[in-house]
Structure 1
Amino acid sequence: MPADLSDVQTLLAVARAGGFREAGRSSGASASTMSEAVRRLEERLGVRLLHRTTRSVTPTEAGQRLIERLGPAMAEVEAALRVVDELKGRPAGTLRLNVPVSAARLVLPTILPGFLAAYPDIRVEVDAEDGFVDVLAAGSDAGIRYDERLAQDMIAIPIGPRVQRFATAASPAYLDRRGRPSHPRDLLNHDGILGRFASGALTAPWEFERDGEVVKVEPASRLIVRVGGAMDLAVDAAIGGAGVIHLFEDWLAPHFASGALEPVLTDWWQSFSGPFLYYSQRRLVPPPLRAFVDYVRALK
């Protein structure tokens, strides 16, 4: 007997939320209703799909394989159904974006307020992370990434500033104590504040450029933070005098203005291309995403 699509959607929601109660909160259904739907699906398929304990709900091997195949397929079904919203005269529904933390902090704040005001029937959900993920398989409609991270078979449009720079800075007190570098190699005698990606790679070496000369340095570090949510800790530590930080210029600009951080090696700051909004060219574009793409393009 074919499985009910609503039961399939419930399985995906429970797996994504990590529990029946958590999934019920976001969907408006009770935990018992969600549990019954998954049990019904398991009976129809003749296999257990979720491990249930008093503390957690996790997919079995069969459940994980099913979820991996169903996620993209159900996203396509939902996108096809949402196309009907276009007949209502204005786009409606949910737009799900997967973005790096830097974009959530530096790009979207200048775009989302105006977009939400222009499209009152659209809800936006933003998942901010800096790992290398398949945003479509994760259930997002589109992602924001830099050009070197763009996946194949994707449509990419510019979003946000087209040129950005990495800035290098430290607190005035730290520089008074340790000296002000005049060349990137001088940073080898300083404490660097570094980030670590989920992959384990560090945000080093730092790269500088001036008059065609490129210099890479990897300063010693006594403080390493997780790229993403812990970057504010790195900035605060730099302000507190823990070392030199190398980060997006726009992220550090307010602290330059206040005097909490002092820029160094400004002639060597390297520029790079700004981010892109990207989405699949092989899938139906749901109305909320089409509206967002049109809105972003109109800002240029």
Structure 2
Amino acid sequence: MKVDPGDLNAFVAVARAKGFRSGARKSGSSASAYSEAVRRLEAQLGVRLLNRTTRSVVPTEAGQSLLARLGPVLAEMEAALDVVNVFRERPAGTLRLNVPVSASRLVLADIVPGFLAAYPDIQLEIFSEESFVDVIAAGCDAGIRYEERLEQDMIAVPIGPRTQRFAAAAAPAYLERCGRPKHPRDLLNHACLRMRFSSGAMPPWEFEREGEKLRVEPVGPLIVQAGGGTDLAVDAAIAGSGVIFLFEDWLRPHLQSGALVPVLKSWWVSFSGPFLYYPGRRLVPAPLRAFIDFVKADGEQR
């Protein structure tokens, strides 16, 4: 069966964006053109691929199966066509990265401006989310994760700070009102501001000192979505609502200004920094190769 590749691209774009308008906008087309392309594809295949309502567009079971198979295939096609980039004076094209919100804020903020200046013909698309996805199936070229989350068949390149810490902190007014915790277990009697991932997981707070490791699951008046709600939790901590536990780099400006003060600092845990990861079994697109080289050079300068 001969199918128009443009129709397949339209289906993938709409399914990933969960909407005709948003899918077409990201691809520089029109919603009506993409709607017609998907209808044409469904007619040719003889099966419905998308369930459409006035509020959402969701792949059917058949659509999900097709999307899972098409994602890697289209990514390989893009990579194969990208080999002509080596004949250009400067790499060009689109680079799509899937990263946690923390990496977007604490890692990429120091890298992206210089990269864009060095490669003006590359368009960078950043998808920030806290859920762990298959970057290829999601239409991305690479992602950022921490070592324990890396898949074994991925190539990993260090990116950003090589050592990070989680820090506990609270506003001076809160500590004056409620007292300062002297041991991690004391947090069980404090108002703690927690974060929950989209999976529903709410990780415990981990501490370590002189070989003693503790995992604490405190309670408190506020739970926010990790990533999107993090700044709200920080603002609540500054306002005196409770103790927060977050990347030290995220809290540093407020620790330096005195809006927040360290809590249990001798118990803060250090861990290795993040990695840029990508599949090693495919051609590396020129924009990604340029980014990898830029990241490696940045790391050598640190």
> Under a length normalisation based on structure 2, what TM-score does the superposition of the two structures give?
0.95
Partner of 1:66: 66
Moved over 4 A (4+): none
Partner of 1:17: 17
In 2 relative to 1, CA 214–76 (structure 1 residues): closer, same or farther, beyond 3 Å? same
In 2 relative to 1, CA 22–88 (structure 1 residues): closer, same or farther, beyond 3 Å? same
Partner of 2:174: 174
**1:256 partnered with 2:255:** yes
Number of matched residues?
299
Gaps of 5+ in 2: none
What amino acid sits opposite 2:265 in the alignment?
T
**1:227 partnered with 2:226:** yes
Q: How far off is 1:27 after superposition?
A: 2.6
| Pairing 1:230-245 to 2, within 5 Å after superposition | 230-245=229-244
Partner of 1:54: 54
Q: How far off is 1:8 after superposition?
A: 0.5
Tell me whether 231-240 or 56-65 shows the greater mean CA deviation: 56-65
What amino acid sits opposite 1:15 in the alignment?
A
Is the 8 Å Cα contact of residues 16 and 138 (structure 2) preserved in structure 1? no
Q: What is the SS of the residue equivalent to 1:220?
A: coil
Q: Distance in 1 between matches of 2:182 and 2:64?
A: 54
Q: How far off is 1:155 after superposition?
A: 0.4
Q: How far off is 1:28 after superposition?
A: 2.8
Pairwise CA RMSD: 1.3
Q: What is the SS of the residue equivalent to 2:58?
A: strand
Q: What is the SS of the residue equivalent to 1:221?
A: coil
What amino acid sits opposite 2:18 in the alignment?
G
Partner of 2:213: 214
Partner of 1:151: 151
Q: How far off is 1:53 after superposition?
A: 3.3
Partner of 1:287: 286
Gaps of 5+ in 1: none
Q: What is the SS of the residue equivalent to 2:175?
A: helix
Q: Deviations over 1:201-223 (max 9, x none)?
A: 1121x111122222222222221
Q: How far off is 1:61 after superposition?
A: 2.0
Q: How far off is 1:37 after superposition?
A: 1.4
In 2 relative to 1, CA 27–201 (structure 1 residues): closer, same or farther, beyond 3 Å? closer
Identity of aligned residues (%): 69
Q: Deviations over 1:246-281 (max 9, x none)?
A: 110000000011111111111111100000000000
Q: Deviations over 1:227-254 (max 9, x none)?
A: 1110111111111111101110000000
In 2 relative to 1, CA 88–168 (structure 1 residues): closer, same or farther, beyond 3 Å? same
**1:269 partnered with 2:268:** yes
Q: Distance in 2 between matches of 1:178 and 1:54?
A: 50
Q: Distance in 1 between matches of 2:53 and 2:212?
A: 59
